[in-house]
């Protein structure tokens, strides 16, 4: 587990550095996408040739497979470095679900905020009434004290 967290930390540091240079970031991302899909495409082509055309005993060039795998691996690593692998291939659904969750949270926050304002208004009203009551009590106590002093 420590290996994965240290690799994740390493990738985050690279993304932070790349984010300061958006054009370079975009170039790495574009090259990563192209190499990854090139590797997948060529691997699929190789497998088709291997399984479909190998019946006649023709020789197969395994360097094509190696080239395809190297392209896919380099593209994969570049996509991991830039964070595009997760966001493009895995994260689009997660991102949309996260956006929905954030919308719900914002809605709840707004409702809570309006409830807080309503509660503050109620407290202000209670405080005003309390001040009125205490001022009336003070007046009555003064009147009582005056009457007692007068006797």
75 and 114, same domain (yes or no): no
Q: How far is CA 104 from CA 39, 87, 112, 143, in A?
A: 40, 22, 12, 58
- Whether residue 89 is contained in a domain is answered as no
The phi, psi pair for 58, rounded to 5°, reads -70, 150
- Whether residue 94 is contained in a domain is answered as no
78 and 34, same domain (yes or no): yes
120: tokens are 């503050």
- Whether residue 38 is contained in a domain is answered as yes
60 and 103, same domain (yes or no): no
Q: Given this model, what pLDDT does residue 73 score?
A: 94
108 and 58, same domain (yes or no): no
107 and 132, same domain (yes or no): yes
Distance CA 50, CA 71 (A): 19
33 and 74, same domain (yes or no): yes
Domains identified in the chain, total number: 2
51 and 16, same domain (yes or no): yes
Q: Given this model, what pLDDT does residue 101 score?
A: 75
13 and 64, same domain (yes or no): yes
Low-confidence ranges of the chain (pLDDT < 50): none
68 and 127, same domain (yes or no): no
> Which domain-ending residue is among 82, 117, 132?
82
78 and 14, same domain (yes or no): yes
Q: Given this model, what pLDDT does residue 16 score?
A: 81
Q: Given this model, what pLDDT does residue 143 score?
A: 83
Cβ atoms of 43 and 50 within 8 Å: the answer is: no
User: In which domain, by residue range, is 61 found?
Assistant: 1-82
38 and 74, same domain (yes or no): yes
- Tens of pLDDT, residue by residue over 48-80, are 888 887 665 567 778 888 999 999 999 998 888
Q: Given this model, what pLDDT does residue 29 score?
A: 86
Q: Given this model, what pLDDT does residue 1 score?
A: 65
50 and 5, same domain (yes or no): yes
């Amino acid at each position: 587990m420590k290996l994965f967290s240290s690799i994740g930390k390493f990738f985050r540091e690279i993304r932070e550095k790349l984010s300061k240079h958006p054009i370079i970031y975009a170039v790495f991302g574009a090259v990563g996408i192209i190499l990854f899909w090139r590797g997948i495409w060529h691997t699929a082509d190789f497998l088709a040739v291997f399984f479909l055309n190998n019946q006649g005993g023709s020789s197969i060039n395994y360097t094509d497979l190696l080239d395809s795998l190297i392209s896919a691996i380099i593209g994969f690593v570049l996509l991991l470095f830039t964070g595009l692998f997760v966001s493009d291939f895995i994260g689009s659904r997660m991102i949309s679900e996260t956006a929905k969750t954030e919308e719900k949270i914002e809605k709840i926050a707004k409702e809570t905020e309006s409830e807080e304002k309503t509660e503050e208004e109620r407290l202000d009203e209670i405080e005003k009434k309390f001040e009125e009551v205490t001022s009336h009590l003070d007046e009555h106590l003064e009147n009582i004290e005056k009457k007692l002093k007068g006797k």
